[in-house]
Amino acid sequence: MEYYREDSAILLAVDCIIFGFNGESLQVLLIKRDFEPERNKWSLMGGFVQPDESPELAASRVLKKLTGLENVYMEQCSVFGDPKREPNSRVVSICYFALIDTQKYTHILSEEYEANWFPLQNYPTLIFDHDQMIASAQHRLRIKAALYPILFELLPEKFTIPQIAALYEGVYNIEFDKRNFSRKLLSSDLIIKLEEKDKENSKKGAFYFKLNTAIYKEKIMSFLRYLPSWFPEN
């Protein structure tokens, strides 16, 4: 520390934007903050990076603490470091977003933090710059969803085409032409039609589909091979 004694101390934190899909709408997971400043106000789940861990491990630790989940799809999306973003300390936060099927995991959310799912288009006022963090994560999610089928991480094992359409409409905040959307999706070979129908949410009964995992993995690998061209060599 002798070399850095003249430098100001800065705290490094992580914040997790956890997106979920309940079969009808895209949602975001929030908690009640249990300490000052902004105690009892709604917040993203976050924490400080410990001396013995990387930001990625810190984000995984935070996610597990809130949901009990491990090995969930999660990636870094942005860094927030405005000097005045928190009132009492200089805190830089690295943001990560995760994707979760809410219907599968609702029962294991932490009661300690009053964790709750809220519609992405209608959630309560948040502390600090957490609204901006959600907007940044949503922008990142839109870009990724346009390149490869990342949104299938939010779906249950079997799903209907109207459910997929509702998910994509929630991410992009637009309404699709349902026939055109269905035709393009079916032609992608990403989904396999099942004999079973969903008769609870449709009078006629919408057929269930499942993900074609072979095609899905192929598209992901193709996307990963494309990534290096996004970045300069130096």
Catalytic residue among 114, 157, 175, 200: 114
Supply 68's token pair.
């009990």
Distance of alpha carbon 89 from alpha carbon 222, whole angstroms: 43
Question: Cβ-count burial of 100 within 10 angstroms (0-12 exposed, 13-18 middle, 19+ buried)?
Answer: buried
Q: Which residues contact 94 (CB under 8 A, 6 or more apart)?
A: 12, 13, 14, 15, 49, 55, 59, 76, 78, 79
Cα dihedral across residues 122, 60, 146, 206: positive or negative:
negative
Tell me whether residue 195 is one of the annotated catalytic residues.
no
CA 206, CA 125: separation in Å to the nearest integer? 37
Closest alpha carbon to 19 in 150, 127, 125:
150
- The owner of tokens 């979920």 is 20
d(CA 165, CA 181): 7
DSSP for 144-174 reads HHHHS-GGGGGS-SEE-HHHHHHHHHHHHTS
Query: What type of residue is 146?
Result: A
Catalytic (active-site) positions: 114
